[in-house]
Amino acid sequence: MADIALQALSKVYRSKVQPEGLLALNRVSLAVADHQFVCLLGPSGCGKSTVLNVLSGLDQEYDGEVRVAGAVVSHDSTHPIRLGYVFQEPRLLPWLTVRGNIEFALESVGIPKGQWRERINGWLDRVGLHDFAEVHPHELSGGMQQRTSIARAFAVDPEILLMDEPFSGLDELTARSMRELLLGIWLETRKTVVFVTHNCFEACFLADRIIVFTPRPGSIKQEFTVELDRPRNYEDPRLFDMSVKVTHFVTGGRE
Ligand SMILES: Nc1ncnc2c1ncn2[C@@H]1O[C@H](COP(=O)(O)OP(=O)(O)OP(=O)(O)O)[C@@H](O)[C@H]1O
Ligand SMILES: [Mg+2]
């Protein structure tokens, strides 16, 4: 079961300039069921990326309890299941080609070499980078780099996908087609997804549930359920209404 359970998760960042620490997250409790698509929505600095870093095991200095697939994420445990992580920025290895970057990920999770070529070509086709497999990241636009990192995340066939504002750096047209692509893939694969955004419309378009955070220190302010059928349509007036409702709540009616 690729489920997630946060129980009173708090995070304090300590540094030389702030030895007393900065409270980034304050007692966040959240359960995400297997196969659910959840969006975390909140203003800049409210701790959204911090939640993903803790979930992924990259940050193990926290208070509270974090369980992924039933197992506690801690210093002395390895992650029980395969995770895909799309960061806010593409984070590609500059000395490797597009193909090489994805191969690196496949190797690190132990996918047999015999499967690499077909798998990589399939995912590059889907993100529209079929002709760019042999080029290096600096030869790609920012959007193409992010599409590479999305292909890389899916290629490892993760049970849980963590996505940190993956489309916020893309132009709106590309972002729209990437959201549609993501929903299409999700409908086929039904991975558990935790998707961070500060875009209310994007959250409504993608999610089953939208978790709205307060400004820092981040805690859960409200939850919305999106009951629209999938595949969703940008022109659907119900989507628009939902997005207006969430935006109104998030901005306190200032928009
Ligand atoms: N490595 C770090 N060291 C010290 N403070 C940090 C560190 N990473 C994040 N913070 C602080 O923790 C708070 C939450 O940061 P985080 O990156 O999780 O926010 P966010 O919600 O993802 O914001 P954004 O939407 O801008 O990406 C911020 O106030 C930030 O300054
Ligand atoms: Mg962030």
HEC per residue, 18-49: CCCCEEEEEEEEEEECCCCEEEEECCCCCCHH
Helix/strand/coil for 11: strand
Helix 142-155 vs helix 172-189: angle between axes, to the nearest 10 degrees?
Answer: 10
- Ligand 1 in reach of 102 Cβ (< 6 A): no
Residue ranges covered by each domain of the chain: 90-158
The most confident of the ranges 57-61, 75-79, 117-121, 145-149 is 117-121
Nearest CA to ligand 1 atom 25: 44
pLDDT in the model for residue 27: 97
Record the tokens describing residue 130, joined without a space.
Answer: 């079929």
Q: The pTM is what?
A: 0.94
Distance, in Å, from the CA atom of 214 to the CA atom of 110, rounded to the nearest integer, reads: 39
List, for residues 93-127, the tens digit of each pLDDT value.
Answer: 999 999 999 999 999 999 999 999 999 999 999 88
Could you tell me the pLDDT band of residue 78, with boundaries at 50, 70 and 90? low
State the pLDDT confidence band at 76, using cuts at 50, 70 and 90.
Answer: low
- What's residue 160's pLDDT? 93
Output the CA torsion sign for 139, 143, 145, 148: negative
Tokens 């087609």, located at residue: 177
pLDDT at residue 174, rounded to an integer:
84
> Which residues is 11 bridged to in the sheet?
25
Burial 6-15 (b: 16+ CB within 10 A, else e): beebbbbeee
For the cut 90, the answer to whether the pLDDT of residue 53 exceeds it is yes
Confidence of residue 255 (pLDDT cuts 50, 70, 90): low
Q: What is the pLDDT of residues 160-193, one digit of tens each?
A: 999 999 999 888 888 898 899 899 889 988 999 9
Q: Is the CB of 147 under 6 A from ligand 1?
A: no
Q: What ligand has the least distance to the C-alpha of 13?
A: 1
Ligand 1: nearest atom to the Cα of 196 = 22
Query: Is residue 154 pLDDT above 70, yes or no?
Result: yes
- Tell me how far apart the alpha carbons of residues 87 and 137 are, in angstroms, rounded to a whole number: 15
User: Measured between alpha carbons, how far is residue 198 from residues 14, 201, 202 in Å?
Assistant: 26, 9, 8
CA distance 87 to 229: 28
Please tell me if the CB atom of residue 50 comes closer than 6 angstroms to any atom of ligand 1.
Answer: yes
Q: What is the residue type of 76?
A: D
Q: How far apart are CA 41 and CA 207, in angstroms?
A: 11
Q: How far is the CA of 108 from the centre of ligand 2 (A)?
A: 25
C-alpha 163 chain-centroid distance? 1
Vertex 250: Cα angle to 68 and 61 (nearest 5): 30
